[in-house]
Every structure is written in C-alpha cells, then in structure tokens.
Structure 1
Amino acid sequence: MVNQERTEDLAQLLARLKDTYNVSESEIARRIGVAPSTVNSWTNRTRGGKRGARPEKLRALAEAFPKFTEDEIFAAAGRETPGPLSPEAESRILELWRGLTEDQQRAKEVEMRALNEMNRTGQ
C-alpha cells in the first residue's frame, strides 16, 4: 500500500514541477518521451480512468526532475511505487524461472501480465 497519504493529484504535482523547474508541458513531454498532449491531458485531468499515466513514464518524471521523488509522483498518480529490481534480484528471479516447466512459465507470465495491468490502471 501507499504509505504516503495522497495530498495532491498528478495535475497539482505537475503544476509544482513546472514552477520548480520553470518548464512547459512540452518540455516535460520531451524529457520523458511522451506527446505534449499526454502531459496536457494529465494537467487538465482528462486522462486517467482506466489507463492513467504509465509507471515507466512516472519513473521517467522522477529521473528527469529529481526534486520530485518516485514515491511522491506515484502517490500523486494514486499508485503504489513499483519495487526496485537489483541485479541480484534479477539473477535470483531468472534462476527460479529456469526451474519452471514450460506450462508453469506460461502460467506465471499470465499472472505477471495481470499484475502489471492492475498496476498500470490503478485497479
């Protein structure tokens, strides 16, 4: 669960970000690799519902504008921050994966896709 109580939404956070960095929506879009209309829709709260901002774009915001943390950005988007994946964890996961049968791998892939979709949509 999100430990941080949501005190602002993504539109409010983006307004602060624009003021803090003195950047436009177009510049934000350029830095995180989305269309300016995407940032505009987040700012005007016209994009959300079932899709909302994708986790990789929220992470890109934190990377491009480091005065705003991933936790802060994800909380504003109403999402939990995805966990980190260290090289050691990735190695352990791959080793476990290699021990599964082909059918088990397919089942786990379906499960992982469902979890990722749930994280993307916030539902």
Structure 2
Amino acid sequence: MLIENDVIFAYMNERDRNHEKAEVLFQKIRDGLGVEASSVCLLEMELVFKSESREDELLGAITALKGIENIEFLPVTPEIVISSIAIRRNYELTFFDSHYAATALSRDRVIISMDNAYDSIPNLNRYEPDEVP
C-alpha cells in the first residue's frame, strides 16, 4: 500500500482537518503495518515547505518521517515516469498525483489517500487513511 502525501501532511499538521484520520493510520503503522511511500513525496515536501517559506522546519519534518518504522521509500524508475506521463495525459491528475498513482500501480495497486481523483484510475484501489484494514 502506498501512502500519499496528503495523508503525511495531515499527520504532521495537528490543525489539518484530516489529522485525526491520518493519526488512525499512523498508529497502525507504529503497530507494525507496513506501507510504502514514493520518494517523490520528499521532493514535494521540499517544494511545499519552500513555497510556504518554512524551509527552517523541513529538516525536522523529513527527519521525523524518516524515523517512522514500517515506511519504505520507493525509488522513481523510468517505468514509473513513463506511466505517470500516460496517467497525466489520460486523466486529470497533477504532476505529483500522477507519480503516486503510477508508483501504486507498479506495486499492489493500492493507494492510501483522501483525494478522490484517484478513483478515476482503472485498477487502482483507494483507501481513506482511517479505512485501511
């Protein structure tokens, strides 16, 4: 199962309206549930923190994320990039969302996200963070 950045951001921000949903998932992860994350999520985090003039917080956020056991960061491959391009051409997903969808499709075809844009992608199954079995 691939965890999407919307869930990670919600977990990191206690004021986020979806923080409690994300907390349910992260408790399962701390209890031993294994999940995967695209390494693209780290780049997206850098860009978001930079655009919000919060780069001074970035090191702590990445370090905290890296310290959570049971999250495996997956590399970007040429196949994933090709797939993400096809997804962007055929579905209205953003650059980062297309990479997350392509990565999930290359694995077990499951993505954990609150973004219903993924529901339009054939063969991709989406779980809300508080619905993960």
Same-fold call, TM cutoff 0.5 = no
TM-score normalised over the length of structure 2: 0.27
- Structure with greater strand percent: 2
TM-score normalised over the length of structure 1: 0.28
- Structure with greater helix percent: 1
